[in-house]
């Protein structure tokens, strides 16, 4: 199947934090893939910035090195050489006023030219960078700003950051990235729901027993001790990625795919989340912290050793029972789970339908399991519909739970772009559908803040779990006591 490439207009992309991990590992490889697919229009430029001093050729060589490591098989030598000619480096400390004139001089002065500022620095610089961009008169009508997560560490700090950026850029110019929304399978959630007649009539609590969202990582904190100690799994994963996924599963059909129609519907879901606070947190939340155990490459140490703090109460695992108080979903719990040092890296949404009301099959036919729709985000993106079927052959009516299995790599033979590829091109095009609007971010924090507060006021520490297991036993109990199970048995 051929992929259709729609060219984007010429652009300047200025990356603050242009020598960081995110830039080298994700952003530049993503741009490279779009470049080799012929999506760019000249004259486009990518400007990397940081406090380091770099000769232009040394920076380009550094980018080329990163592409060879991180851009996969696409990284052929001569194309890389061509691509890196788009790059320019400006030494600039965002806390000082030096370097900004050089940045200004490298940007296309045409007010209609697309100019995107990517904030790939520590989040506590975001407000200061926005102010400096304004002070140095870099905002044009076609300028836009891309903000990485995390936006704030609670509702109040998120509002401060949003206020500071909002003083310089209008809401239409602000692109808050949640890279999960750029994943092909996440977008497929919308296609599945709204481009098929099969699912939407069943997409409610009358037919769906529960929904599960699991985002499991097998890695630990990978040298990000300082950030992670302050964040924890609830802020790092649930406030953004898991709640965004929940919104796409639970939202009403938007009037169209335009940015505000989709975001209006997601916002309604966030507003309908049943509050979790000190009165019910012990019942519907489980937080855990990994201890020494099995990692992918052998034995690994525990979280406290990883961060050098024996008294750390930071959670590396969260499981939640979330209820949505509206007509569509009352009575259908959403179980969310995420953690580090789990047995494998897997992100999956499972929609578990209700049991059949009555069985006509004799007991010896076997147990009739729920129909499950499993949407796999990573790895091996695809969709499985688990159905009960007759086992082939003689032996009477023996029933089996078996999947209709659609692995995207098998069905679509084209290269599936990484999330950042899609998102960066959307920024250049000015399409904000897959980005978070300010009121969404704030509604998510309004729901998260009371959980953080409830946890802060309890004596309990996070429950321990061994690295290489699926989290603390209490997380299993959270669903088992309601007669359900997490779905790794179907993975």
The 97-136 site mask, x for binding ligand NAP (CB under 6 A), equals -----------------------xxxx-------------
Distance between CA atoms of residues 399 and 484, nearest Å:
21
Min separation Cβ 123 and ligand NAP, Å? 5
Residue 21 contacts ligand NAP per CB under 6 A: yes
Total binding residues toward ligand NAP, as defined by CB under 6 A: 21
Categorise residue 401: left if φ over 0, alpha if ψ from -120 to 50, beta otherwise. beta
Rank residues 26 and 153 by Cβ distance to ligand NAP and give the closer one.
26
Q: How far is the CB of 179 from ligand NAP (least distance, A)?
A: 7
Q: Residues 159, 398: contact at Cβ < 8 Å?
A: no
20 binds ligand NAP per the rule CB under 6 A = yes
Tell me the C-alpha to C-alpha distance, in Å, between residue 38 and each of 5, 6, 30, 431. Answer: 8, 9, 13, 20
Q: Is 161 among the residues that bind ligand NAP (CB under 6 A)? A: no
Give 125 or 361: the residue with its C-beta nearer to ligand NAP. 125
Quote the least distance from Cβ 124 to ligand NAP, whole Å. 9
DSSP, collapsed to helix, strand or coil, labels residue 169 as coil
Contact assessment for residue 169 and residue 146, using Cβ atoms and an 8 Å cutoff: no
Applying CB under 6 A, among 39, 44, 50, 218 the residue interacting with ligand NAP is 50
* Apex 39 CA angle, 35 and 43, nearest 5: 80
- 200: β partners: none
149 binds ligand NAP (CB under 6 A): yes
We find the least distance from the C-beta atom of residue 90 to ligand NAP, in angstroms, to be 10
Please tell me whether residue 142 binds ligand NAP under the rule CB under 6 A. no
From the list 12, 148, 306, 426, which residue makes contact with ligand NAP (rule: CB under 6 A)?
148
Q: How many CB atoms lie within 10 A of CB 153?
A: 18
CA distance 251 to 243: 12
Q: Binding to ligand NAP by residue 209, rule CB under 6 A?
A: no
**Binding region for ligand NAP (CB under 6 A) out of 91-99, 109-117, 260-268, 270-278:** 91-99
Please identify which of the residues 241, 358, 401, 457 carries the catalytic annotation: 241
Q: Is 249 in the site for ligand NAP (CB under 6 A)?
A: no
CA distance 140 to 137: 8
Q: Which is nearer to ligand NAP, 6 or 53 (CB)?
A: 53
Taking the C-alpha atoms of residue 91 and residue 119, their distance in angstroms, rounded to an integer, is 15
Query: Which residue in this structure is represented by tokens 């699991």?
Result: 214
Neighbouring residues of 417: CB distance < 8 A, sequence distance ≥ 6: 30, 33, 34, 184
Query: Is 225 a residue that touches ligand NAP (CB under 6 A)?
Result: no
d(CA 282, CA 270): 21
179 is catalytic: no
Smallest gap from residue 424 Cβ to ligand NAP (A): 14
Q: How far is CA 362 from the centre of its chain?
A: 45
Which one, 18 or 152, has the nearer CB to ligand NAP? 18
Instruction: Pick one of 5, 7, 43, 51: the residue that binds ligand NAP (CB under 6 A).
Output: 51
Q: How far is the CB of 399 from ligand NAP (least distance, A)?
A: 45
19 binds ligand NAP, rule: CB under 6 A: yes
Q: Considering the rule CB under 6 A, would residue 52 count as an interface residue with ligand NAP?
A: yes
Encoded tokens for 7: 């060219």
The whole-angstrom separation of Cα 272 and Cα 255 is 19
Residue nearest to ligand NAP (CB): 20
Burial (CB count within 10 angstroms: exposed 0-12, middle 13-18, buried 19+), residue 206? exposed
434-459: b (≥16 Cβ within 10 Å) or e: bbbbbbbbbbbbebbbbbbebbeeee
Residue 491 Cβ vs ligand NAP, minimum distance, rounded to whole Å: 25
**Stretch near ligand NAP under the rule CB under 6 A, chosen from 92-100, 268-276, 304-312, 320-328:** 92-100
Residues of this chain that interact with ligand NAP (CB under 6 A) are: 16-22, 26, 50-52, 92-95, 120-123, 148-149
User: So which residues are the catalytic ones?
Assistant: 241
């Amino acid at each position: 199947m051929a992929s259709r490439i729609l060219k984007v207009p010429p652009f300047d992309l200025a990356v603050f934090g242009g020598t960081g991990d995110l830039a080298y590992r994700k952003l530049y490889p993503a741009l490279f893939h779009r470049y080799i697919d012929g999506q760019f229009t000249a004259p486009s430029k990518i400007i990397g910035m940081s406090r380091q001093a770099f000769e232009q050729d040394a920076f380009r060589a550094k980018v080329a090195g990163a592409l060879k490591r991180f851009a996969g098989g696409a990284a052929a030598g001569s194309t890389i050489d061509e691509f890196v000619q788009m790059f320019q480096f400006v030494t600039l400390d965002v806390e000082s006023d030096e370097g900004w004139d050089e940045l200004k001089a490298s940007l296309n002065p045409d007010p209609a030219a697309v100019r995107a500022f990517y904030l790939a620095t520590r989040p506590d610089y975001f407000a200061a960078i926005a102010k400096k961009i304004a002070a140095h008169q870099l905002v044009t009508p076609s300028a836009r700003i891309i903000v990485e997560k995390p936006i704030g560490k609670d509702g109040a700090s998120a509002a401060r950051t949003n206020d500071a950026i909002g003083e310089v850029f209008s809401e239409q110019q602000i692109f808050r990235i949640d890279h999960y929304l750029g994943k092909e399978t996440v977008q497929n959630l919308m296609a599945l729901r709204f481009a098929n007649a099969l699912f939407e009539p069943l997409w409610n609590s009358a037919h769906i027993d529960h929904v599960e969202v699991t985002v499991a990582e097998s890695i630990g904190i990978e040298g990000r001790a300082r950030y992670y100690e302050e964040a924890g799994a609830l802020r790092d994963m649930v406030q953004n990625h898991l709640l965004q996924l929940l919104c796409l599963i639970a939202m009403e059909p938007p009037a169209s795919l335009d940015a505000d129609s989709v975001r209006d519907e997601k916002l309604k879901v966030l507003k309908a989340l049943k509050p979790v606070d000190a009165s019910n947190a012990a019942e519907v939340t489980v937080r855990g912290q990994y201890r020494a155990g099995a990692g992918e490459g052998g034995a690994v140490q525990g979280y406290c050793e990883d961060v050098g703090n024996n008294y750390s109460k930071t959670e590396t695992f969260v499981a939640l029972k979330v209820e949505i108080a509206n007509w569509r979903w009352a009575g259908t719990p959403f179980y969310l789970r995420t953690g580090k040092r789990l047995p494998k890296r897997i992100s999956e949404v499972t929609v578990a339908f209700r049991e059949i009301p009555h069985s006509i099959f004799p007991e010896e036919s076997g147990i009739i399991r729920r129909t499950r729709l499993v949407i796999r985000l990573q790895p091996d993106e695809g969709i499985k519909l688990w159905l009960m079927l007759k086992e082939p052959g003689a032996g009477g009516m023996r029933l089996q739970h078996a999947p209709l299995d659609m692995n995207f790599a098998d069905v679509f033979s084209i290269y599936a772009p990484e999330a950042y590829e899609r998102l960066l091109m959307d920024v250049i095009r000015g399409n904000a559908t897959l980005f978070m609007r300010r009121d969404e971010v704030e509604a998510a924090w309004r729901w998260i803040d009371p959980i953080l507060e409830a946890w802060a006021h309890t004596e309990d520490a996070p429950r321990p779990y061994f690295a290489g297991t699926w989290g603390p036993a209490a997380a299993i109990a959270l669903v088992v006591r309601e007669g359900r199970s997490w779905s790794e048995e179907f993975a």
